[in-house]
Structure 1
Amino acid sequence: MGSTLMATTSILLCAGLAAVISSTYSVKRPLNDSIFGAHGEFMVSLKYVTILSFFLFSFFCYSFSIRFINQVNVLINSPQSPASVITPMYVSELLEKAFILNTVGNRLFYTALPLLLWIFGPLLVFLCSFTLIPVLYNLDLVLGFKKQGKTESQINGCGDCESV
């Protein structure tokens, strides 16, 4: 469901950006503005195309993730036979591919958010990036399970699990 929601959000943002590009973009003087000015027609078009490509690649990653998850849902219920090509290892590899594609789609989507603010100026990009880095750090880093000398099984409420 998360991949479907994010894919829908990505493609809606792509459609919105495409509508903005088609209504405001015109080529008059493509190379006369500097990068830091960032309001010339070439830079504005570069911003929109960059953001659009990030959201499109994010959509494709989410779509492939949905495809692999649907395939896993069908294959996980298939009967096991010795001559079958469908093994539990194959199904787990498909599920892992789906999760990796979902993670890549998330990263592309999260990276596109500061780029979306790039339209309005460099200060908003800096502030969004400054807040996005700790968020992504907390999403990626799992702190150790040992808290105050307790093991993982004691934290989970299973004190006798270690002896089993």
Structure 2
Amino acid sequence: MEWRSCYLDMVLVPLSLAMSLAYHWWLWRKVRSQPLTTIIGTNARGRRFWAFAIMKDNEKKNILAVQTLRNTIMGSTLMATTSILLCAGLAAVISSTYSIKRPLNDSIFGAHGEFMVSLKYVTILSFFLFSFFCYSFSIRFINQVNVLINSPQDPASVITPMYVSELLEKAFILNTVGNRLFYTALPLLLWIFGPLLVFLCSFTLIPVLYNLDLVLGFKKQGKTESQINGCGDCESV
């Protein structure tokens, strides 16, 4: 009887997470092998050029660098605040009585036992909590870049444009990971109302992310890379 009440949760929710994991594994391979066919790889290349250009002409562009990094910090701070507020709300629900954690019990599919309800909320809480950590580390690296990008250029200094661009790239990688964890947690919120909604939402989210992650209309990556390799100091992503 217990299996009959929770078999949908045991099948549809792991399947939804597996679809999301498989898509992001494919995206990671795509970024590594053909970076300029993806938004992530293209933006990473642009950020590297930006860091080199800012530090090369720092006296004229230092204000631009600070304002750009400040806007990035504000975006990460907003998402970190949203994640931790959702964590606080879920923690408050978990600590409350189970009577308020069973919405529409008679009209939805899936199990409603105490163990399954606890598993739902703990899983969702974990995703938002790890998302918050990624945003926090991203803000830490951006703050470091904010100071180092305006440091005086010294041939003997270890604060080189390459070092600063690597710190900036780490910040944006962590920000991207935080975003993906946040996006994965949103369908899991619907698990409160049944596992079928989780599967449908994840199935719909993947095509949306596909269209947002790829550079549509890209034809010849080699030609594009040769056109943008004019910066001799910049390394490929």
User: Which of the pair is proportionally richer in helix?
Assistant: 2
- C-alpha distance 101-35 of structure 1, shift in aligned 2 (>3 A): farther
Mapped to 2, the partners of 1:53 and 1:160 lie a distance apart of 41
Single out whichever of 150-159 and 82-91 deviates more from structure 2. 150-159
Say if 1:33 and 1:40, in contact at 8 Å, map to a contact too.
no
Residue 123 of structure 1 and its aligned partner are, at CA, apart by: 2.2
Say if 2:83 and 2:129, in contact at 8 Å, map to a contact too.
yes
- C-alpha distance 4-159 of structure 1, shift in aligned 2 (>3 A): closer
Say if 2:101 and 2:117, in contact at 8 Å, map to a contact too.
no
Q: Which runs of 5+ in 1 are unaligned?
A: none
The two structures, once aligned, show a CA RMSD in angstroms of 5.9
Mapped to 1, the partners of 2:211 and 2:134 lie a distance apart of 22
- C-alpha distance 28-123 of structure 1, shift in aligned 2 (>3 A): closer
How many pairs are equivalent?
A: 164
Say if 1:3 and 1:102, in contact at 8 Å, map to a contact too.
yes
Normalised to the residue count of structure 2, the TM-score between the two structures is 0.56
Identity of aligned residues (%): 99
Single out whichever of 85-94 and 27-36 deviates more from structure 2. 27-36
- C-alpha distance 156-139 of structure 1, shift in aligned 2 (>3 A): farther
Residue 126 of structure 1 and its aligned partner are, at CA, apart by: 2.1
1:22 to 77, 95, 99: 95
Residue 56 of structure 1 and its aligned partner are, at CA, apart by: 0.3
Relative contact order, higher structure (CA 8 A, sep 6+)? 2
- C-alpha distance 29-84 of structure 1, shift in aligned 2 (>3 A): same
Give deviations 1:80-106, integer Å, cap 9, x for gaps.
112212111110000000110011000
